[in-house]
Amino acid sequence: MNSLAIDASFDRIREFVLGRCDTLPPQLMEMHKRWACAFTLMGENHFRSDRFVAKQLMTLFDIAEMTAYRDIAASKKLYGDSRRSNKDAERYLASENAKELFAKAWAMFQATKKYQWYVAAVSQQKLHARVNGLDRDDPDLPDPSKINPPTQILQINIDFIKSEFARHIDPKAKHKLNELLAKIDDLIESSRIGDYLDTTIEIPRIKE
């Protein structure tokens, strides 16, 4: 089946699912059953992989592996990814549960003025914020703590430092550069790099 035929089949099945048409040809009705089955299989356990669902479809409907994967893709497109829906549902339930427990704990704190109820209320408030990503400035932005910063390399052109053009550098910049060059010099002396070289490394300075 070419891509145009697949798109046409999807549109007709979608119209049927939305109640815009009453019947489907037998071939499309069979496809609709497979797509609905794929959605059900994914929804029963969101830890199930596409491979597991594909094998189930192959067994239940006696279809080829490629057809099974096409059915899974069509099912997600038509109904949405039920595994993602499950996660959203779990997040919603956790959020609602945290709000309910916060209300109970806060009411107990106001009634008894006991510190443990205040702690319980605050912990549920924090849980609610964490579940919904409210503990970050923008929950849609990636967590900066999980982003590795790029490596920054400072390069100093020794030939330029030795050239006549170096004297045109701003005096304050010259002083800072010379301090940096002195640190590099000390670092080289304290390292074992000299054990692997036949000559001594000399870091020049800029005339101030």
Nearest C-alpha neighbor of 203 from the set 192, 194, 186: 186
Q: Is 143 exposed, middle or buried (0-12, 13-18, 19+ CB in 10 A)?
A: exposed
Q: How far is CA 121 from the centre of its chain?
A: 30
Which tokens belong to 105?
Answer: 């704990």
Predicted local distance difference test score (pLDDT) of residue 83: 60
User: What pLDDT score does 66 carry?
Assistant: 92
pLDDT of the residue at 3: 60
Q: Where are the domains of the chain?
A: 3-80, 85-146, 153-208
Contacts of 61 (CB under 8 A, 6+ apart): 30, 33, 34, 37
- Other CB atoms within a 10 A radius of the CB of residue 108 amount to 16
Q: What is the pTM of this model?
A: 0.41
The pLDDT of residue 135 is 61
What pLDDT does residue 136 have? 61
The one-digit pLDDT tens for each residue of the chain (208 residues) are: 556 566 788 889 988 887 888 889 999 999 999 998 988 888 776 667 889 999 999 999 999 999 999 999 988 888 776 566 556 655 655 676 777 888 888 888 888 888 788 888 888 778 777 766 666 655 555 555 555 655 555 666 667 777 777 777 788 888 888 888 788 777 777 766 666 555 566 777 777 7
In this prediction, residue 169 carries a pLDDT of 79
SS (H, E, C) the chain: CCHHHHHHHHHHHHHHHCCCCCCCCHHHHHHHHHHHHHHHHHHHCCCCCHHHHHHHHHHHHCCCHHHHHHHHHHHHHHHCCHHHHHHHHHHHHHHHHHHHHHHHHHHHHHHHCCHHHHHHHHHHHHHHHHHCCCCCCCCCCCCHHHCCCCCCCCCCCHHHHHCHHHHHCCHHHHHHHHHHHHHHHHHHHHCCHHHHCCCCCCCCCCCC
For residue 192, with 0-12 CB atoms within 10 Å meaning exposed, 13-18 middle and 19 or more buried, which class applies? exposed
The pLDDT assigned to 149 comes to 58
